[in-house]
Amino acid sequence: MKELKRSNEPLFWLLFGAGGMWGAIFAPIIILSMLLLPAFGVEGGERLWRLVHDSIFGKVFMLAMIVLPLWCGFHRIHHCLHDMKIHSALVKPLCYLAALALSGLAFWAVVTP
């Protein structure tokens, strides 16, 4: 009986799905409340900025706002290149290493004061 080969693909599909869902649900709300409404003089955006800077919950939320859609995008790029018949041994590692590096940069930017 042939042994099944383990794959790391479910982990990347999980990050892809979580990033797509997170971006679809929360990104419009955050863009509207933190960027557009204060530009038009509507109060409330400043409180959200303070929440992000002063609480651990706000930092985790903002980190998820950056990292999850980032992984979704790089996973989509990887599969788009695959669909265009660009098969290279470097495509998958480069996509996921770029996502990992940018996630680390986002973590550093959100956590450091």
Fold that domain 11-111 belongs to in CATH: 3 helical TM bundles of succinate and fumarate reductases (1.20.1300)
Rounded Cα distance, 80 and 91, in Å:
11
pTM: 0.78
Residue 80, sorted as left (phi over 0), alpha (psi -120 to 50) or beta, turns out to be alpha
Per residue in 31-88, pLDDT tens?
Answer: 887 777 777 777 766 777 788 788 899 899 889 989 999 999 999 999 999 999 988 8
Q: Read out DSSP for 39-54?
A: HTT-TTHHHHHHHHHH
Helices 56-83 and 91-111: angle between axes, nearest 10 degrees = 160
